[in-house]
Amino acid sequence: MSSLKMIEGYPEYMRKSIELVERTRPRRMREVYRRLSLEEREELLRKYHPDYKPGTKRPLRIGPNRGDEAPHELADLLEAHPLVKPIDVDLSKIDIDTDLLIIGGGGAGLVAALWANQEGLPPDRITIVTKLRLGDSNSVMSQGGVQAADRPPDSPVRHFLDVMGGGHFANKPELVKALTMDAPLMIKWLEELGLMFDKDEEGNMVEDWGGGTSIRRMHACKDYTGMEIVRVLRDEVRNREINVVEFTSAVELIKDDLGHVAGAVLVNMESEQYMVARAKATILATGGYGRLHIQGFPTTNHYGATADGLVLAYHVGARLTDIETAQYHPTGAAYPEQIVGLLITEKVRGLGAQVVNKHGEQFVFPLEPRDVEASAFIRECWERNNGVITPTGMRGVWLDSPMIEIIRGEGTIQRRLPAMYRMYKRFGIDMAKDPILVFPTLHYQNGGVAINDRGQTDIPGLFAAGEVEGGVHGKNRLMGNSILDYLVFGRRAGINAARYVKKANLGRLTLNHVDEYEKMLREAGIETDRKAPMILPDYRGKEVLARKIDIFK
């Protein structure tokens, strides 16, 4: 690698392709690539989308989704031994006794806590538990924006149709109705909390395009939208003095003898001591599964995105939905190596950057829904061999970011995409002058725990909000609907859990469902050493692990 001659962040050989991108740019500025019909989209997906690749999934052998396909990496966790042995846990000693336990401290957890409080639950009767720091989540990393149909000629009805089309009409209509009808309310709520939305001088929202939307409705805070939302929500949770337990992971849900979910077994991440948390209602807000690296893909996701919520829910018998589809964000960084897989916001395309191959030619409309766009990239790189190959062997296509400066004026990138600009600058690339290389990266868990429009799962006492739940996005989520999802369903779960708490009476605590799960594994003939939930991925060097002696056990 070190022998390559580098010119302003790129090896000399990649510069040759960049010259072609520059040469075709004046002509392309006038070209609009044709959008695909639904039939053409479907064919592209079938041939090139990773979800359709044979051998990457298997039918689950146990549980409420028995027979449904799941990616191997997720199936491995659902068909693993529960981490906790009931015999090791003393349920008679309650360490945390609370009304509402919220598992997860990202967007959904924060929103749920605030609305549960708004609904009348006192802050000291709400407990947020998170295995990392409060706010550490995918939510904090979302860049591009949040959708809301909040001005004519847009309407919730149009938003509804865009969501359904993006999700291949597999979405649950009542959830999409909630998502789109509540959206303007959530924007207003954030405004009142003091969010710094991008606005014009009159206070009108600046709204941009997103992939698969039929109108501009993307609200943003530059390209730090998620970071700005999470830091405001976190500040508000702290101002209201809601209980927060950090660096503590939920490893199993607890039920009562009436079949309600009644809290969770928690483990201190540092001391590894367990705690029993009893709660009248529990909200799963644990996020998604990017760190499972489905099919070996790199991911945009944060360190804790390990599907814990799906595992916990499945152990108590909650049904999952649409788990066979994963979202691969079309524009993950493909170069330089230090940032491979990290998110390049869709807003780069929303602001006018085209996608071009190594010859500098367009091959897809830049704002197709994400699954379609990603499939076109994969075809261009691996079927047509028109990708640029990096020094580490990755393939990618160009995102022609300098177009943004030409269309919208010099300085636009620094003003509207400061996070992207900064990240590339840190590694020696000026994306206002040079295009950047991208390839699909694992981004989002489209499906998850099945809920109704009040955020309830199939199991009484258990609610779910945010990426951990499924049904809202069908088989593919559109840009700007993940923030909206955790806002809308975080609020609904928080309010409805607070109402549920008022009527709930808990019976005797039990972990019998864990024994039953073990029995199911046995009866299905599943023999494995694996345990779940995973809690954190393990990236330690292989050479170290090969010579490791565990001196404390």
Partner 1 sequence: MEADKAEAKAAQLGEEEVQGKETVKIYIMGKEYRVPAGLTIMKAMEYAGYRFIRGSGCRAGFCGACATIYRLEGDYKLYTALACQTSVIDGMYLAQLPFVPANKAIYDVNKVRAEGNVLMVYYPEIARCVSCNTCTKACPQEIEVMDAIQAAVKGDIVSVAELTFECIQCGLCAVRCPAEIPQYHVFQLARRLYGKYILKPAKHVEERLKEIKSGKFNEEMEKLMRTSREELRKMYESLERVED
Catalytic residues: 329, 349
Whole-number Å distance between alpha carbons of 70 and 350: 32
Any idea what the Cα angle at residue 291 is, between residues 210 and 82, rounded to 5°?
130
Whole-number Å distance between alpha carbons of 413 and 429: 13
Judged by CB, which is closer to partner 1: 38, or 66?
Answer: 38
Q: Binding of partner 1 at residue 247 (CB under 8 A)? A: yes
Which of the residues 134 through 163 are near partner 1 (CB under 8 A)?
135-138, 140-141, 148-151, 153-158, 160-162
Q: Binding of partner 1 at residue 191 (CB under 8 A)? A: yes
Q: Which of 90, 201, 527, 550 binds partner 1 (CB under 8 A)?
A: 201
Q: Which of 44, 84, 129, 187 binds partner 1 (CB under 8 A)?
A: 187
Rounded to a whole number of angstroms, the minimum distance from the CB of residue 381 to partner 1 is 9
Structure tokens belonging to residue 493: 């779960």
DSSP, res 545: H
Q: Binding of partner 1 at residue 2 (CB under 8 A)? A: yes
Q: Which of 188, 384, 502, 530 binds partner 1 (CB under 8 A)?
A: 188
Q: Binding of partner 1 at residue 395 (CB under 8 A)? A: yes
CB proximity list for 526: less than 8 A, separation 6 or greater: 61, 62, 79
Rounded to a whole number of angstroms, the minimum distance from the CB of residue 28 to partner 1 is 19
Part of the chain binding partner 1 (CB under 8 A), chosen from 254-262, 340-348, 460-468, 488-496 = 340-348
Judged by CB, which is closer to partner 1: 97, or 174?
Answer: 174
Rounded to a whole number of angstroms, the minimum distance from the CB of residue 303 to partner 1 is 5
Q: Binding of partner 1 at residue 540 (CB under 8 A)? A: yes
Q: Binding of partner 1 at residue 202 (CB under 8 A)? A: yes
Which of the residues 432 through 461 are near partner 1 (CB under 8 A)?
none
Part of the chain binding partner 1 (CB under 8 A), chosen from 10-18, 88-96, 113-121, 512-520 = 10-18
Judged by CB, which is closer to partner 1: 90, or 543?
Answer: 543
Rounded to a whole number of angstroms, the minimum distance from the CB of residue 39 to partner 1 is 10
Q: Which of 54, 67, 194, 409 binds partner 1 (CB under 8 A)?
A: 194
Judged by CB, which is closer to partner 1: 27, or 415?
Answer: 415
Judged by CB, which is closer to partner 1: 340, or 532?
Answer: 340
Which of the residues 20 through 39 are near partner 1 (CB under 8 A)?
37-38
Report helix, strand or coil for 5: coil
Part of the chain binding partner 1 (CB under 8 A), chosen from 71-79, 120-128, 172-180, 275-283 = 172-180
Q: Binding of partner 1 at residue 203 (CB under 8 A)? A: yes
Strand partners, 321: 448
Beta strand 126-129 with 207-208 is unpaired
Strand partners, 88: none
Burial (0-12, 13-18, 19+ Cβ within 10 Å), 266 = buried
Rounded to a whole number of angstroms, the minimum distance from the CB of residue 133 to partner 1 is 6
Structure tokens belonging to residue 303: 């360190």
Contact 449, 313 (CB under 8 A): yes
- Kind and range of the H or E element at 343? none
CB-side exposure of 50: number of CA atoms within 13 Å?
28
Q: Binding of partner 1 at residue 224 (CB under 8 A)? A: yes
Measured in whole angstroms, the distance separating CA 467 from the mean position of its chain's CA atoms is: 6
Q: Which of 34, 46, 66, 199 binds partner 1 (CB under 8 A)?
A: 199
First to last CA, the chain: 41
Q: Binding of partner 1 at residue 338 (CB under 8 A)? A: yes
CB proximity list for 223: less than 8 A, separation 6 or greater: 143, 144, 345, 347, 416, 417, 418, 419, 420
Q: Give the number of residues in contact with partner 1, rule: CB under 8 A.
A: 112
Which of the residues 295 through 324 are near partner 1 (CB under 8 A)?
295-298, 300, 302-303
- Write out the E strands in 69-189: 69-71, 81-82, 96-103, 126-129, 146-147
Part of the chain binding partner 1 (CB under 8 A), chosen from 208-216, 369-377, 501-509, 516-524 = 208-216
Question: Pseudo-torsion of CA 415, 419, 423, 425, nearest 10°?
Answer: 10
Rounded to a whole number of angstroms, the minimum distance from the CB of residue 285 to partner 1 is 16
Strand partners, 326: 445
- CB neighbours of residue 553 within 10 Å: 4
Contact 372, 41 (CB under 8 A): yes
Structure tokens belonging to residue 492: 């609904």
Part of the chain binding partner 1 (CB under 8 A), chosen from 110-118, 235-243, 250-258, 462-470 = 235-243
Which of the residues 263 through 282 are near partner 1 (CB under 8 A)?
269-270
Judged by CB, which is closer to partner 1: 225, or 282?
Answer: 225
Judged by CB, which is closer to partner 1: 369, or 448?
Answer: 369
Judged by CB, which is closer to partner 1: 297, or 489?
Answer: 297
Which of the residues 349 through 378 are near partner 1 (CB under 8 A)?
none
Q: Report in angstroms the alpha-carbon separations of 405 from 17, 414, 426, 433, 482.
A: 20, 10, 20, 9, 28
Which of the residues 410 through 429 are near partner 1 (CB under 8 A)?
418-419, 422-423, 426-427
Report helix, strand or coil for 509: strand
Report helix, strand or coil for 11: strand
